[in-house]
Structure 1
Amino acid sequence: MLSLIDNAYAAVTSPLEGNSYSLFFMLLIFILIFYFVLFRPQQKKDKEHKKLMESISPGDEVMTNSGFLGRVSKITENGYVLLQLNNKTEVFIKKDFIVSSLPKGTLEVL
Protein backbone atom coordinates (compact mmCIF):
# COMPACT_ATOMS: atom_id res chain seq x y z
CA MET A 1 0.00 0.00 0.00
CA LEU A 2 2.85 2.37 0.80
CA SER A 3 4.34 1.89 -2.67
CA LEU A 4 1.05 3.02 -4.29
CA ILE A 5 1.12 6.25 -2.28
CA ASP A 6 4.73 6.89 -3.28
CA ASN A 7 3.85 6.35 -6.96
CA ALA A 8 0.86 8.70 -6.69
CA TYR A 9 2.95 11.37 -4.99
CA ALA A 10 5.63 11.06 -7.66
CA ALA A 11 3.03 11.47 -10.42
CA VAL A 12 1.66 14.66 -8.89
CA THR A 13 5.00 16.35 -8.27
CA SER A 14 6.56 15.56 -11.63
CA PRO A 15 7.01 18.67 -13.77
CA LEU A 16 4.77 19.08 -16.79
CA GLU A 17 6.68 18.37 -19.91
CA GLY A 18 5.77 20.38 -22.94
CA ASN A 19 7.13 22.65 -25.56
CA SER A 20 8.21 25.96 -24.02
CA TYR A 21 7.80 27.67 -27.40
CA SER A 22 4.06 26.97 -27.47
CA LEU A 23 3.50 29.49 -24.67
CA PHE A 24 5.51 32.07 -26.60
CA PHE A 25 3.53 31.47 -29.80
CA MET A 26 0.22 31.65 -27.92
CA LEU A 27 1.24 34.98 -26.38
CA LEU A 28 2.31 36.28 -29.79
CA ILE A 29 -1.06 35.27 -31.29
CA PHE A 30 -2.94 37.11 -28.52
CA ILE A 31 -0.85 40.23 -29.06
CA LEU A 32 -1.58 40.14 -32.80
CA ILE A 33 -5.30 39.70 -32.17
CA PHE A 34 -5.35 42.69 -29.80
CA TYR A 35 -3.43 44.77 -32.32
CA PHE A 36 -5.75 44.05 -35.25
CA VAL A 37 -8.99 44.18 -33.24
CA LEU A 38 -8.36 47.10 -30.87
CA PHE A 39 -5.34 49.25 -31.63
CA ARG A 40 -5.29 49.41 -35.43
CA PRO A 41 -8.93 50.49 -35.89
CA GLN A 42 -8.54 53.18 -33.22
CA GLN A 43 -5.41 54.53 -34.90
CA LYS A 44 -7.24 54.61 -38.22
CA LYS A 45 -10.17 56.48 -36.67
CA ASP A 46 -7.81 59.01 -35.05
CA LYS A 47 -6.04 59.58 -38.36
CA GLU A 48 -9.37 60.24 -40.15
CA HIS A 49 -10.45 62.68 -37.42
CA LYS A 50 -7.15 64.56 -37.65
CA LYS A 51 -7.58 64.78 -41.42
CA LEU A 52 -11.09 66.21 -40.90
CA MET A 53 -9.77 68.82 -38.44
CA GLU A 54 -7.17 70.01 -40.95
CA SER A 55 -9.70 70.26 -43.79
CA ILE A 56 -12.24 72.46 -41.98
CA SER A 57 -12.51 75.98 -43.38
CA PRO A 58 -14.92 78.91 -42.91
CA GLY A 59 -18.23 78.28 -44.66
CA ASP A 60 -18.20 74.51 -44.09
CA GLU A 61 -21.30 72.94 -42.58
CA VAL A 62 -20.44 70.64 -39.71
CA MET A 63 -21.93 68.52 -36.94
CA THR A 64 -20.52 68.44 -33.40
CA ASN A 65 -20.48 65.51 -30.98
CA SER A 66 -23.19 67.24 -28.90
CA GLY A 67 -25.52 67.31 -31.92
CA PHE A 68 -25.17 70.96 -33.02
CA LEU A 69 -25.45 71.53 -36.75
CA GLY A 70 -23.98 74.77 -37.99
CA ARG A 71 -21.80 76.69 -40.39
CA VAL A 72 -18.21 77.56 -39.51
CA SER A 73 -17.88 81.34 -39.33
CA LYS A 74 -14.35 81.77 -38.05
CA ILE A 75 -11.40 79.61 -36.98
CA THR A 76 -8.95 80.91 -34.38
CA GLU A 77 -5.25 80.02 -34.11
CA ASN A 78 -5.65 78.29 -30.76
CA GLY A 79 -8.07 75.65 -32.02
CA TYR A 80 -11.49 77.20 -31.46
CA VAL A 81 -14.25 77.56 -34.03
CA LEU A 82 -17.08 80.08 -34.15
CA LEU A 83 -20.07 78.02 -35.22
CA GLN A 84 -23.16 79.81 -36.55
CA LEU A 85 -26.24 77.77 -35.56
CA ASN A 86 -28.83 80.16 -37.06
CA ASN A 87 -29.05 83.87 -37.97
CA LYS A 88 -28.95 84.97 -34.32
CA THR A 89 -26.99 82.28 -32.48
CA GLU A 90 -23.25 81.68 -32.63
CA VAL A 91 -21.19 79.53 -30.28
CA PHE A 92 -17.48 78.96 -29.73
CA ILE A 93 -16.47 75.30 -29.64
CA LYS A 94 -13.17 73.48 -29.70
CA LYS A 95 -12.23 72.23 -33.11
CA ASP A 96 -11.80 68.71 -31.70
CA PHE A 97 -15.54 68.46 -30.96
CA ILE A 98 -16.47 68.49 -34.64
CA VAL A 99 -17.48 64.98 -35.64
CA SER A 100 -18.28 65.25 -39.33
CA SER A 101 -18.51 67.62 -42.23
CA LEU A 102 -21.90 67.91 -43.93
CA PRO A 103 -22.50 68.33 -47.67
CA LYS A 104 -22.95 71.92 -48.87
CA GLY A 105 -26.56 73.10 -48.74
CA THR A 106 -27.61 70.79 -45.90
CA LEU A 107 -28.51 73.67 -43.61
CA GLU A 108 -31.11 75.68 -45.51
CA VAL A 109 -32.52 77.47 -42.42
CA LEU A 110 -29.39 79.58 -41.91
Structure 2
Amino acid sequence: MLPFITDAYAQTAAPAAQQPSWMPMVILTAMMLVMYALLIRPQAKKQREQKAMNEALAKGDEVVTSGGLIGRITELTPQYMTLQVGSVGDKPVTITVLRSSVQTLLPKGTMKSLN
Protein backbone atom coordinates (compact mmCIF):
# COMPACT_ATOMS: atom_id res chain seq x y z
CA MET A 1 0.00 0.00 0.00
CA LEU A 2 2.90 2.31 0.65
CA PRO A 3 3.95 2.47 -3.02
CA PHE A 4 0.44 3.66 -4.00
CA ILE A 5 0.50 6.47 -1.46
CA THR A 6 3.79 7.84 -2.73
CA ASP A 7 2.50 7.75 -6.30
CA ALA A 8 -0.69 9.55 -5.31
CA TYR A 9 1.24 12.14 -3.33
CA ALA A 10 3.60 12.76 -6.24
CA GLN A 11 0.67 13.44 -8.57
CA THR A 12 -0.92 16.22 -6.52
CA ALA A 13 -0.79 19.64 -8.14
CA ALA A 14 1.54 22.28 -6.82
CA PRO A 15 -0.24 25.05 -4.90
CA ALA A 16 -1.02 28.10 -6.99
CA ALA A 17 1.20 31.12 -6.47
CA GLN A 18 -0.46 33.63 -4.18
CA GLN A 19 -1.13 37.07 -5.59
CA PRO A 20 0.53 39.96 -3.74
CA SER A 21 -1.84 41.87 -1.47
CA TRP A 22 -1.94 45.66 -1.24
CA MET A 23 -3.74 45.60 2.08
CA PRO A 24 -0.63 45.73 4.34
CA MET A 25 0.62 48.77 2.42
CA VAL A 26 -2.76 50.50 2.82
CA ILE A 27 -2.79 49.81 6.58
CA LEU A 28 0.78 51.06 6.99
CA THR A 29 0.00 54.26 5.07
CA ALA A 30 -3.13 54.84 7.16
CA MET A 31 -1.13 54.40 10.36
CA MET A 32 1.45 56.94 9.16
CA LEU A 33 -1.28 59.47 8.39
CA VAL A 34 -2.81 59.01 11.84
CA MET A 35 0.61 59.47 13.49
CA TYR A 36 1.14 62.67 11.49
CA ALA A 37 -2.29 64.04 12.39
CA LEU A 38 -2.10 63.20 16.10
CA LEU A 39 1.57 63.76 16.97
CA ILE A 40 3.70 65.61 14.45
CA ARG A 41 1.35 68.38 13.32
CA PRO A 42 0.30 69.59 16.81
CA GLN A 43 3.93 69.62 17.96
CA ALA A 44 4.97 71.71 14.95
CA LYS A 45 2.14 74.16 15.67
CA LYS A 46 3.25 74.47 19.29
CA GLN A 47 6.84 75.14 18.19
CA ARG A 48 5.68 77.90 15.80
CA GLU A 49 3.66 79.56 18.58
CA GLN A 50 6.61 79.33 21.00
CA LYS A 51 8.96 80.89 18.43
CA ALA A 52 6.52 83.74 17.71
CA MET A 53 6.13 84.44 21.44
CA ASN A 54 9.91 84.39 21.90
CA GLU A 55 10.43 86.88 19.06
CA ALA A 56 7.74 89.20 20.47
CA LEU A 57 9.35 89.51 23.93
CA ALA A 58 10.04 93.07 25.03
CA LYS A 59 11.61 94.86 27.95
CA GLY A 60 9.16 94.98 30.87
CA ASP A 61 7.32 91.75 29.99
CA GLU A 62 6.76 89.30 32.83
CA VAL A 63 7.61 85.69 32.02
CA VAL A 64 7.93 82.20 33.47
CA THR A 65 11.06 80.25 32.54
CA SER A 66 11.17 76.52 31.93
CA GLY A 67 12.78 76.20 35.38
CA GLY A 68 9.75 77.83 37.00
CA LEU A 69 11.29 81.24 37.74
CA ILE A 70 9.01 84.25 37.40
CA GLY A 71 10.63 87.53 36.45
CA ARG A 72 10.41 90.83 34.59
CA ILE A 73 12.63 91.33 31.54
CA THR A 74 15.14 94.15 32.07
CA GLU A 75 17.53 93.53 29.14
CA LEU A 76 17.25 91.61 25.87
CA THR A 77 19.88 90.33 23.46
CA PRO A 78 19.35 87.96 20.53
CA GLN A 79 20.22 84.91 22.66
CA TYR A 80 20.00 86.02 26.30
CA MET A 81 17.86 88.15 28.55
CA THR A 82 18.18 89.51 32.06
CA LEU A 83 15.27 88.95 34.42
CA GLN A 84 14.56 90.79 37.62
CA VAL A 85 13.27 88.04 39.90
CA GLY A 86 12.94 90.06 43.09
CA SER A 87 14.64 92.66 45.22
CA VAL A 88 16.60 92.81 48.44
CA GLY A 89 15.85 96.12 50.09
CA ASP A 90 15.91 98.49 47.16
CA LYS A 91 18.47 96.53 45.12
CA PRO A 92 17.03 94.36 42.31
CA VAL A 93 17.99 90.69 42.08
CA THR A 94 18.67 89.82 38.43
CA ILE A 95 19.61 86.66 36.58
CA THR A 96 20.63 86.05 32.98
CA VAL A 97 18.88 83.23 31.11
CA LEU A 98 18.54 82.01 27.55
CA ARG A 99 15.67 83.52 25.58
CA SER A 100 14.64 80.01 24.57
CA SER A 101 14.01 79.13 28.23
CA VAL A 102 10.87 81.30 28.38
CA GLN A 103 7.88 79.04 28.83
CA THR A 104 4.99 81.48 29.31
CA LEU A 105 4.32 85.18 28.88
CA LEU A 106 2.39 86.47 31.92
CA PRO A 107 -0.10 89.35 32.06
CA LYS A 108 1.31 92.67 33.29
CA GLY A 109 1.17 93.05 37.07
CA THR A 110 1.45 89.35 37.87
CA MET A 111 4.64 89.82 39.88
CA LYS A 112 3.05 92.54 42.04
CA SER A 113 0.08 90.31 42.80
CA LEU A 114 2.44 87.54 43.99
CA ASN A 115 4.18 89.77 46.57
Class of the TM-score when normalised by the shorter of the 2 chains: 0.7 to 0.9
The residue that corresponds to 1:96 in the other structure is 100
Q: RMSD in angstroms over aligned alpha carbons?
A: 2.5
Query: In the TM superposition, what whole-angstrom CA distance separates every residue of 1:13-44 from its partner, at most 9, and x where no partner exists?
Result: 765x4662212211110110110111111101
The residue that corresponds to 1:82 in the other structure is 82
Q: What is the identity percentage for the equivalent residue pairs of Structure 1 and Structure 2?
A: 31
Q: Which runs of no fewer than 5 residues in structure 1 stay unpaired?
A: none
Task: Give the residue type in structure 2 aligned to 1:74.
Answer: E
Highest CA radius of gyration, 1 or 2?
Answer: 2
- Runs (4+) of structure 1 exceeding 3 A deviation are none
TM-score by length of structure 2 reads 0.77
Separation of aligned partners in 2, 1:33 and 1:70: 40
Separation of aligned partners in 2, 1:90 and 1:18: 72
Separation of aligned partners in 2, 1:45 and 1:106: 24
Q: How does 1:27-106 map to 2 (within 5 A)?
A: 27-77=28-78, 79-87=79-87, 88-106=92-110
Higher strand share: 2
Query: In the TM superposition, what whole-angstrom CA distance separates every residue of 1:68-104 from its partner, at most 9, and x where no partner exists?
Result: 0000000013x10001001231000000000000001
Task: Give the residue type in structure 2 aligned to 1:76.
Answer: T
Task: Give the residue type in structure 2 aligned to 1:43.
Answer: A
Matched pairs, number: 104
